[in-house]
């Protein structure tokens, strides 16, 4: 999963890496269904995360990582 900034809403969305790595794709579709043309998806350090993508991304993390504690 890659966090890319959509130039449409200046928000970082989670995009499946398979889409981002495919040079033939003309647009990407985020976990939250936000879609953006590939040329408007920017690789920069995330500052504003899409709340919907955060929730959906969290659901993709295996339980043993999500619930891991220091103890
Ligand atoms: Zn999103």
Helix-then-strand count for the chain, H and E:
3, 5
pLDDT in tens, 26-51: 999 999 999 999 999 999 999 999 99
Cα of 64 to ligand 1 centre, how many Å?
A: 24
Cα of 66 to ligand 1 centre, how many Å?
A: 20
Distance CA 39, CA 42 (A): 8
Domain-by-domain residue ranges, the chain? 2-64
Please choose, from the candidates 36, 65, 22, the residue with its C-alpha nearest in 3D space to the C-alpha of residue 57: 65
Q: Report the pLDDT value the prediction gives residue 59, as an integer from 0 to 100.
A: 80
Residue range 14-24: mean pLDDT, rounded? 95
Residue 65: pLDDT band by 50, 70, 90 thresholds? low
Residues with a beta carbon under 5 angstroms from ion ligand 1: 13, 30, 32, 34, 50, 52-53
Residue range 8-17: mean pLDDT, rounded? 96
Greater model confidence, 12 or 62 = 12
**Model confidence, pTM:** 0.82
Cα of 65 to ligand 1 centre, how many Å?
A: 22
């Amino acid at each position: 999963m890659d966090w890319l900034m959509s130039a449409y809403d200046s928000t970082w969305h989670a995009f499946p890496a398979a889409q981002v790595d495919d040079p033939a794709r003309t647009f990407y579709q985020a976990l939250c269904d936000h879609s953006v043309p590939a040329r408007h998806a920017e690789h920069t350090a995330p500052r504003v995360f899409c709340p919907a993508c955060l929730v959906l991304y969290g659901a993709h993390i295996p339980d043993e990582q999500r619930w891991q504690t220091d103890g």
